[in-house]
């Protein structure tokens, strides 16, 4: 088994040596930073090359969420932490139910703080963790594995397929080298890392960019953004309370006092307050319009 794993790793793009950083240990601080920055600067263009696949994944996520399903990220190490991070940021930013987008990581949540070596090697644990959260055919699983071979992730993707659920897979190795059957495959090939095998660097950066793109676009498509403003946030902290007032002031062109009053009548919900102001209706009518418009403010106020 050890030799098999060695052979798998030896040929991975993410595990090869970077010819541009072979003498990085002989550089001074500024030179090392310049090398790292030069490698990082190529990542956005690499991600851009995957836009069509990212769009396919995003559309799949939107359809899943609109029909009552969930988006479940699953990964190990850095990949798992990035999935958990993205999932955790959606409720405060977009007012989503914490159950709607979740992140699972090999070794459990303790692995967020301290590496759980070996947890990623158990194929069956991917299925087990999905089963524990009641994963079903309405959900979509989003596997993240920079190396493309993480058994924990592959086990989860395999389970999704057996129960008829949709699946997305993000890996930083070439598409033609990936044989697993998924609905959407995203492959930002960022090349060898600055330090061989340290996929928390370029691979991690590409992953973070893509996850940001997918959930942000999905939230926009679901009406949680008006113009370029977050309008489904809840006033759960002083900062969010004042941000909510500022958004209502900017969009509706009203005073601080009027914005505060609108939000009070809207039970602190920015989107409702905006429809009240822009369509000149009460809170009950605003909520009805929002529901009829599938959450889209432009439709709710009759702009489109």
The count of residues in the chain is 304
Phi, psi of 269 (to 5 degrees): -95, 115
Q: pTM surpassing 0.75?
A: yes
Question: 10 an active-site residue?
Answer: no
- What are the tokens at 216? 């942000």
Share of the chain above pLDDT 90, in %: 78
Question: Which residue is catalytic, options 63, 89, 241, 285?
Answer: 89
Report the run of H or E that residue 267 belongs to, with start and end.
Answer: none
What is the pLDDT of the chain when averaged over all its residues?
92
Question: For residue 25, what is the DSSP state?
Answer: G
In the structure, what pLDDT confidence band is assigned to residue 205 with cuts at 50, 70 and 90?
Answer: very high
Catalytic residue among 15, 50, 120, 193: 120
Strand partners, 141: 72, 167
Q: What is the mean pLDDT of residues 124-151?
A: 94
DSSP state of 230: E
Name the pLDDT band for 286 (thresholds 50, 70, 90): very high
Give whole-number Cα distances, 235 to 55, 73, 95, 232, in Å.
Answer: 31, 27, 10, 10
> Which one-letter DSSP state was computed for residue 177?
G
Q: Is 120 a catalytic residue?
A: yes
User: Mean per-residue pLDDT for 158-178?
Assistant: 95
Q: Are 103 and 88 in contact (CB under 8 A)?
A: yes
197 pLDDT exceeds 90? no
φ/ψ of residue 186, rounded to 5: -115, 125
| Residue whose tokens read 């396919």 | 56
Going along the chain from its start, the domains and CATH numbers come out as 8-221 (3.40.50.10490), 226-300 (1.10.8.1080)
Alpha-carbon gap, residue 96 to 133, rounded angstroms: 18
Query: Rounded CA gap, 148 and 173, in Å?
Result: 7
- Report the alpha-carbon distance of residue 84 to residue 99 in Å, rounded: 12
How far apart CA 234 and CA 211 sit, in angstroms, is: 23
Is residue 252 within 8 Å of 259, Cβ to Cβ? yes
User: With left for phi above 0 and alpha for psi between -120 and 50, is residue 30 left, alpha or beta?
Assistant: alpha
| The two three-digit tokens of residue 31, written as one number | 């030179």
């Amino acid at each position: 088994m050890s030799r098999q794993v060695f052979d798998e790793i030896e040929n991975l793009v993410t595990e090869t040596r970077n010819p541009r950083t072979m003498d990085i240990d002989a550089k001074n601080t500024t030179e090392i930073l310049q090398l790292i920055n030069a490698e990082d600067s190529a990542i956005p263009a690499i991600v851009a090359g995957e836009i069509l696949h990212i769009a396919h994944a995003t559309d799949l996520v939107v359809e899943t969420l609109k029909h009552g399903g969930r988006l479940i990220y699953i990964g190990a190490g850095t990949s798992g932490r990035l999935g958990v991070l993205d999932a955790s940021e959606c409720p405060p930013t977009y007012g989503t139910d914490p159950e709607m987008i979740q992140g699972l990581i090999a070794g459990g949540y303790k692995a967020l703080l301290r590496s759980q070596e070996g947890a990623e090697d158990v194929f069956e644990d991917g299925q087990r963790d999905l089963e524990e959260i009641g994963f079903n055919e309405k959900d979509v699983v989003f596997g993240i594995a920079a190396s493309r071979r993480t058994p924990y992730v592959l086990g989860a993707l395999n389970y999704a397929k057996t129960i008829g659920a949709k699946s997305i897979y993000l890996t930083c190795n070439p598409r033609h080298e990936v044989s697993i059957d998924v609905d959407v495959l995203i492959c930002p090939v960022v090349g060898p890392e600055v330090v061989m095998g340290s996929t928390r660097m370029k691979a991690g950066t590409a992953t973070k960019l893509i996850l940001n793109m997918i959930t942000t676009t999905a939230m926009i498509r679901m009406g949680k953004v008006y113009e370029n403003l977050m309008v489904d946030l809840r006033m759960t902290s002083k900062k969010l309370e004042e941000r909510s007032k500022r958004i209502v002031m900017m969009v509706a062109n009203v005073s601080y006092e009027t914005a505060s009053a609108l939000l009070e009548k809207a039970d602190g919900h920015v989107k409702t307050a905006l429809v009240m102001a822009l369509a000149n209706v009460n809170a009950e009518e605003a909520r009805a319009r929002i529901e009829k418009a599938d959450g889209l403010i432009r439709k709710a106020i009759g702009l489109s």
